[in-house]
Amino acid sequence: MRTAIMLGAAVGPNGLASPTLERRAKHAAALYLDGQVDRILLTGGIGQNPPSEAHVAAQICYSFGINPSNVLLEENAQTTLENFVCALDQHPSIQWDQLIIVTDKYHALRASMTARALRLNYKTDCPPLKGSNRRKIIKSYLREIPAILFYAVKLRSISYNGDMNRRAT
């Protein structure tokens, strides 16, 4: 089975999707509607503002006519690593799927590093950033530099064995 796993992004103070979350959710929906994936797994817990990132993304997917039976949710994750591990814990069958990671280009390297450490079968598919706020995009690329270095060290000690709480650290 082919599954798009959309990595979460912020929800605004009014409970609406941030531009990043909206861009990712629309891209995941387009992959499904184009027949490139069989289902969508939306990740992301409650950050600074409710509801969960996955819930808000699901509403976007449903607005495109996607049947809720083809949408899986993971509503606890707070980090990139948790996006994957919580999704695997809640939906273990995805471990064997061809995963298409939906995230932004600036985040794709860290997402790929994480998927590789968890030994997942994946590729990334990023929505275009055209029309996005340039300053925010540059800030996002710069923020990834220390995050990638941190993950490079952290992921060396990660061994996923089916339960996030039993992860070797």
pLDDT tens figures, 15-55: 999 999 999 999 999 999 999 999 999 999 999 999 999 99
pLDDT at 167 over 80: no
Q: What is the mean pLDDT of the chain?
A: 93
pLDDT at 169 over 50: no
Determine the Cα–Cα distance for residues 90 and 63; give it in Å rounded to an integer. 24
pLDDT band at 5 (very low <50, low <70, confident <90, very high): very high
pLDDT at 125 over 50: yes
**What's the Cα-to-Cα distance from 12 to each of 58, 64, 71, 147, rounded to whole Å?**
15, 21, 22, 23
Determine the Cα–Cα distance for residues 148 and 159; give it in Å rounded to an integer. 18
Determine the Cα–Cα distance for residues 144 and 88; give it in Å rounded to an integer. 24
Is the distance from CB of 39 to CB of 143 less than 8 angstroms? no
CA atoms within 13 Å, Cβ hemisphere of 19: 10
